[in-house]
Amino acid sequence: MISTKSSISKQSRYRNADGIAGSAIVAFAIIMFAFSFEFTGEAAIWPRAVLVLLLVLGIVLVVRAGRDPKPSQRTDGTPQHDDQHNIDGESLSRTVVAAPMAVLLMVIGYAALLEIIGFFPSTVAFLAGILWYQRVRNIVAALGIVLVLNLVIYYLFVFELNVQLPTGILFGEG
Amino acid sequence: MDTAIIGEALNLLFTFEVLAAIAFGVVAGIVIGALPGLSGTMGIALLIPVTFGMEPVAGLAMLTAIYTSAVYGGSISAILINTPGTPAAAATAIDGYQMTKKGQGGKALGISAIGSMAGGLASGLVLLFVAPQLAKVSLAFSAAEYFLLAVFGLTIISSLAGASLLKGVISGVIGLVAATVGIDILTGYPRFSFGTTALQSGIELVPALIGLFSLSQVMILAEQRRTGTSATAQLVRGKVLPKLRELKTLVPTILRSSGIGAFVGILPGAGGDVGSWVGYNEAKRFAKDKSAFGKGEPKGVAAPETANNAVTGGALIPLLTLGIPGSSATAVLLGGLLVQGMQPGHELFTDDADVTYAVILGFLLANILMGVLALAGARLFVKVTTVPTKYLAPVILVLCVVGSYAINNSIADVWVMIVFGLLGYLLRKTGFPTAPVVLGLILGSLAEKGLRQSIVLAQGDVLGYYLSRPISLVLIVLILLALFAPVFRRKMRGKVTEEPEEQKETV
């Protein structure tokens, strides 16, 4: 009985996820289509055709999510996973996405810091933050990662590949 | 094949830089493939920016070495902890893990290494001899064929690599939308650039690839923070190198799987997982004692491992000759090719023939090196794979950022990577495949340009124009076949997967 209830709840969650994804696709297609009104002549035809196709597919996904008794599965009947061997289709609940979103926010902060304090200081700050978040409490290991990674990047990108890594507005020449 | 070109290719290949790049690619590929949660696709995407500053042969040979070695690496965790490192190693886990349970984990790894090397070599030879012939076909292509080729590329990946046909197609169309960003190739009008100069040149492919395959992967790995770490392999028991007598019994299986894998690889979209399952199924069908499969039969390891590595060389054929990547890994490899300023097609085998043949010969060398290193260093690779993801994830993230930046020395590319990372994560969590997005992004402009030019050339009779061209007709038939492929695949998979499950129940 409990397992039936849980299965129904899981199916409804999947349906819900497909419905939300479909709605987001429809909204995205409409917004982008509105932007395409700025384009002139021939330049507008292809993007509009592609957006109309996306709109139709999004609507089909929403309708299917409302109708189908079970979540969308692989067309070949195998368990749902993508090409990177991770379980997909798991609900985007708050507990599931909390850590990935925290990681993403840290990467966003890192990218923003690059322009302010430059590559190496922001990399040290980012690594310190994310290693702590990942529950790395071994100070020697953490210091080793920070030091070795910075040295490898310096050698590979600056010394070998001549990449001008950002110096930042605080420490850079301008 | 011109022997002078092969001579030039060998000269390009046997330099310190190229050989070191191949050795690095092999080691990195095995480690990346063996770590559950990481993939060859991710590794290739991360290292493309590094290849930007390298000689084309060194850079491309390194990427193809990662590609083939990661496929072997996937078997390590499949054999030792019953967790396939790559989808292509799923069939290997059935008998490989049973061998580990019997204390024959070392031997299973050895068989996997030998099979992978043989399969990779066979497919490399097929690539060497078949690709130049197929590339000649592309000489007859005009706008109509390029449009249909782009549609074919989108159809195969959407119908075969995806979670569901609808979601696969949606992913492909999202890629097509992304490909429209930037200045219109024919009229010069800026589209969806929102007044920013960074977007006027379109969405940069490599940062998008890094975001889709690497950042999104780390975000998925970050979920382990909630659930705890995954299982890790213990020390390998038993001898790694199988006895000569045992090897002799595996030769027919290895030869059969080499052929199967190379053939499956040439079919765009079929991929390593299909190759390994077909290889496994055929080995079982030809076996005298079918009941041994699923209980630790060495042929059950040799067959899928040979086949999935044989797929790699085969899959490079449509990529190099037609620019059609049949999987996420080959789509990313196409990115590596484009970064070096090389266009797939007949030019690769004429103007750039020395580089192309050097890369193909490097691919053969990488397979030999992979076999040798895998046999000699099996225990070491197993140890490396026990490194927890909490240490790996920060390193990958920094490489995502610096790699995206390094392509154009542009912070805007880092933001593109972040946006595509979020997109990739959301798509994967809602069951959408990410590979078609890349295909849409790569093939979108080719499709648009081809269609618009062919409409002009058709002079009002578009349908008549398309149907009057033989290669167009062949491509139309291929598109229709690709659309029906999921039905065939479902039947084939159902047939193959049912039997091992039945066996498990009886054990």
- pLDDT tens for B147-170 read 888 888 777 665 555 557 788 889
Q: Compute the distance between CA of residue B5 and CA of residue A29 in angstroms, rounded to an integer.
A: 50
Taking the Cβ of residue A122 and every Cβ of chain B, the question of whether any pair is shorter than 8 Å is answered with no
Taking the Cβ of residue B495 and every Cβ of chain A, the question of whether any pair is shorter than 8 Å is answered with no
pLDDT digits (tens, 9 = 90+) for B400-411: 999 999 888 899
Residue A81 bridge partners (DSSP): A87
- In chain A, helix, strand, coil percent, each to 5? 75, 0, 25
A42–B434 C-beta distance less than 8 A? no
What part of B 347-386 touches A (C-beta under 8 Å)? none
When scoring B50, B217, B398 by the number of chain A Cβ atoms within 10 A, the one with the most, hence best to mutate, is: B398
pLDDT number for residue B496 = 54
Mean residue pLDDT across chain B = 85
Nearest residue of chain A to residue B449 (CA atoms): A46
pLDDT number for residue B235 = 61
Q: Compute the distance between CA of residue B281 and CA of residue B274 in angstroms, rounded to an integer.
A: 11
Q: Name chain A contacts of B426, Cβ cutoff 8 Å.
A: 92
Range of the domain at B414: 3-506
pLDDT number for residue A89 = 47
- The dihedrals phi and psi of B242, each to the nearest 5 degrees, come to -70, 160
Taking the Cβ of residue A30 and every Cβ of chain B, the question of whether any pair is shorter than 8 Å is answered with no
Are B104 and B64 in contact, with CB atoms under 8 Å apart? no
Q: Name chain A contacts of B215, Cβ cutoff 8 Å.
A: 104, 107
Q: Taking residues B281-293, what's their average pLDDT?
A: 86
- Reported confidence tier of residue B507, pLDDT bands at 50, 70, 90: very low
Q: Residue A73's CB: how many other CB atoms inside 10 A?
A: 16
User: Per-residue confidence of chain A (174 residues) as pLDDT tens digits?
Assistant: 444 555 555 555 556 788 889 999 999 999 999 999 888 888 889 999 999 999 999 999 999 988 765 554 444 333 344 443 344 445 567 788 889 999 999 999 999 999 899 999 999 999 999 999 988 889 999 999 999 999 999 888 888 888 888 887 766 554
pLDDT at residue B503 greater than cutoff 50: no
Q: Name chain A contacts of B269, Cβ cutoff 8 Å.
A: none
Are B341 and B289 in contact, with CB atoms under 8 Å apart? no
pLDDT number for residue A82 = 40
CA distances from A136 to A105, B40, B388, B390 (A): 19, 26, 10, 7
Residue B182 bridge partners (DSSP): B191
Taking the Cβ of residue A43 and every Cβ of chain B, the question of whether any pair is shorter than 8 Å is answered with yes
To the nearest whole percent, how much of chain B has pLDDT over 70? 89
pLDDT number for residue B123 = 94
Number of domains observed in the structure of chain B: 1
pLDDT number for residue B495 = 58
When scoring A11, A68, A72, A107 by the number of chain B Cβ atoms within 10 A, the one with the most, hence best to mutate, is: A107
Whole-complex ipTM:
0.84
pLDDT number for residue A1 = 44
pLDDT digits (tens, 9 = 90+) for B59-113: 999 999 999 999 999 888 888 887 776 667 788 888 998 898 888 888 999 999 9
Q: Compute the distance between CA of residue A40 and CA of residue A34 in angstroms, rounded to an integer.
A: 13
- Reported confidence tier of residue B39, pLDDT bands at 50, 70, 90: confident
pLDDT number for residue B275 = 83
- Reported confidence tier of residue B284, pLDDT bands at 50, 70, 90: confident
pLDDT number for residue B270 = 63
